[in-house]
Amino acid sequence: MSRFPKDFLWGVACASYQCEGGWDADGKGPNIWDEFCHDTAHQHIKNGATGDVACDSYHRFREDVALMKAHNIRAYRFSVSWARVIPDGDGAVNEAGLKYYEDLVDELLANGIEPLVTLYHWDLPSALQDRGGWLNRDIVEAFGRYAGIFAGRMKGKVKKYMTLNEPQCAAAFGYGVGIHAPGWTVSEEKVARVYHHMCLAHSAAYRAVKAEAGEDVQVGVAPCGRLTYPEKDTPANREAAYKATFAMPADDWMFTFNIFLDSVCLKRYADDIPESVRRFAATVDPKDWDLMEAPDFIGVNVYNGKMVDETGAYVARYEGFPQTACRWPVTPEVMHYGPLQIGQRYGKPVYITENGQSCNDRIFLDGQVHDPDRIDFLHRYLLELSKAVGEGLDLRGYMQWSFLDNFEWNRGYDERFGIVYVDYRTGERIPKDSARWYAKVIETNGECL
């Protein structure tokens, strides 16, 4: 009995700003992460790190693709730097930027690796931020135009898109608490506006991609949020976990799946939105709901979750609870129940678009990078994921985060998420033990787990 569907898409993921480098190469415009990192006076980023060079995948992508092929990778989820393609966000197209992505896509296809394209993974062109960024409704049209231009160029080559990656982080971290670019701290009511514009932009891009690349192209989205799992595997406890996952308490509504997905899939807000969101909701033109497009699939980024008991209350973690290098708890059970909850609420096919752990990896005396912690983490999460498949989840693929060590946003290069080690002094890539382990998982379609 196979634990995963027959044509299951095993892949890896990364994002433009985190791995490309080439921050001002060949006509690329500045984006908000360039500016946020260069604003060293405010120390937004650990150790003053920037993505100026990162993994230099802008220049080394052929080497990266060859390494993927050598490890049986079937899909590469990468994101597009909007400012590389349209330097000021809504003006002239930069041919060199489009050409870079076309070359990458061609290289992937030539090696039998399917490209999965994320159109927005947080690196907004600065010129659009100067006009209010996601607070300005003009962004909806600009994003739709950009999506159409990109998809038109990749017509016949790219069959799967995600419009936005984790709108929750972009909204809550970028505009709510200001620890991510652009580093703004606006009212909760305005954060709700950011979400609304993101939902409309997703929808505009959905239509533009289909119009330019064809109706058969799949357009999804990759949100994140709080996921909870039951302490006991009883129907009542499962129901309590489902409710806790989609609850919207006033002090914890921003990192919910439903603040985004209810709008685009169900075309309404949840009943229990907090007062701040309710105030914004009252200003929404009812016609906006007709503009919302449900994604063809939902990409779920899964890192950890919270355990709840039968009453729906959080169960405290014990002292010494397993954790990763960045101190995120290791909670594999979330991979069983979380995707099922998403599938149940929205009735769409699911991809796991990110999952992985950071370690303090280093080169050992034997010249290799041994990462048993990461292997154990991925092993446990994949075993739990196979339970969801066994229970009927329409699961299409799994993207490990991340192929290469890369720039981890405000935490800089401190944490390593890759299954391939990057020596940032030289750019040298060294596949870790986990890369060889994952190659085996793919080769056996998960049977070896």
Q: Which stretch binds ligand GBH (CB under 6 A): 32-40, 165-173, 192-200, 203-211?
A: 165-173
d(C-alpha 14, C-alpha 60), whole Å? 14
- Angstrom distance (rounded) from CA 178 to CA 175: 6
Q: What is the rounded radius of gyration, in angstroms, for the C-alpha atoms of the chain?
A: 21
> Which two tokens mark 55?
């993994």
- With CB under 6 A as the contact rule, the residue among 31, 263, 301, 386 that binds ligand GBH is 301
61 vs 115: CA distance, rounded Å:
13
Q: How many residues bind ligand GBH (CB under 6 A)?
A: 15
Q: How many C-beta atoms surround the C-beta of residue 172 within 10 A?
A: 23
Q: Site residues for ligand GBH, window 206-225 (CB under 6 A)? A: 224-225
> Which amino acid is residue 114, in one-letter code?
E
Query: In angstroms, rounded to a whole number, what is the distance separating the alpha carbons of residues 306 and 334?
Result: 8
* Active-site choice (20, 188, 293, 354): 354
Closer residue to ligand GBH (CB): 61 or 417: 417
User: Which 382-411 residues touch ligand GBH, going by CB under 6 A?
Assistant: 401, 408
- 256/386 with CB nearer ligand GBH: 256
Distance CA 145, CA 285 (A): 22
| Helices within 229-293 (DSSP H only) | 235-245, 258-261, 275-281
Nearer of residues 98 and 259 to ligand GBH, judged by Cβ: 259
Nearest distance, CB of residue 259 and ligand GBH, angstroms: 11
Nearer to ligand GBH, 165 or 203 (CB): 165
Site membership for ligand GBH, residue 303 (CB under 6 A): yes
- What's the rounded Cα separation, in Å, for the pair 256 and 338? 12
First to last CA, the chain: 12
Give the nearest distance from C-beta 334 to ligand GBH in angstroms.
9
Q: Which residue in 166, 188, 293, 384 is the catalytic one?
A: 166
354 is catalytic: yes
Query: Between residue 225 and residue 244, which ones bind ligand GBH under the rule CB under 6 A?
Result: 225-226
Distance (Å, whole) CA 215 – CA 323:
43
CB of 7 to ligand GBH, least distance (A): 26
Nearer to ligand GBH, 173 or 280 (CB): 173
Asked if 354 is part of the footprint of ligand GBH (rule: CB under 6 A), the reply reads: yes
Which region among 129-137, 150-158, 164-172, 425-433 touches ligand GBH (by CB under 6 A)? 164-172
What gap in Å lies between CA 72 and CA 269, rounded to an integer? Answer: 42
Q: Considering beta carbons, is residue 15 or 158 the nearer one to ligand GBH?
A: 15
User: Residue 189 catalytic?
Assistant: no
Distance in Å, CB of 169 to ligand GBH, minimum: 6
Q: Which backbone phi and psi does 11 adopt, to 5 degrees?
A: -150, -170
Segment contacting ligand GBH by CB under 6 A, of 60-68, 163-171, 197-205, 435-443: 163-171
Nearer of residues 154 and 170 to ligand GBH, judged by Cβ:
170
311-330 burial code (b ≥16 CB/10 A, e <16):
ebeeeeeeeeeeebbbeeeb
Query: Minimum Å distance from CB 362 to ligand GBH?
Result: 19
413 part of the interface to ligand GBH, by CB under 6 A: no
Minimum CB separation of residue 165 from ligand GBH in Å reads: 5
Q: Which of 166, 262, 293, 405 binds ligand GBH (CB under 6 A)?
A: 166
Task: By CB under 6 A, tell whether 169 contacts ligand GBH.
Answer: yes
| Nearest approach, Cβ of residue 200 and ligand GBH (Å) | 21
**3-class DSSP assignment, residue 430:** strand
Q: Which is nearer to ligand GBH, 18 or 237 (CB)?
A: 18
Which of residues 246, 255, 413, 421 is near ligand GBH by CB under 6 A?
255
Q: How near is the Cβ of 221 to ligand GBH at its closest, in Å?
A: 12
Contact (Cβ atoms closer than 8 angstroms) between residue 382 and residue 449: yes
Sign of the torsion angle spanned by Cα atoms 394, 397, 402, 408 = negative
In sequence order, which residues have a C-beta less than 8 Å from that of residue 403 and are 6 or more positions away? 12, 13, 14, 64, 67, 68, 73, 76, 418, 419, 420
72, 165, 218, 400: which one contacts ligand GBH (CB under 6 A)?
165
CB-nearer residue toward ligand GBH: 170 or 369: 170
CA 159 to chain centre: 18
C-alpha span between 106 and 154 (Å, rounded): 10
105-123: burial string, b at 16+ Cβ within 10 Å, e else: bebbeeeebbbbbbbbbbb
Cβ at position 408, least distance to ligand GBH in Å: 5
Catalytic residue numbers?
A: 166, 354
| Residues forming the site for ligand GBH (CB under 6 A) | 15, 18, 165-166, 169, 224-226, 255, 301, 303, 354, 401, 408, 417
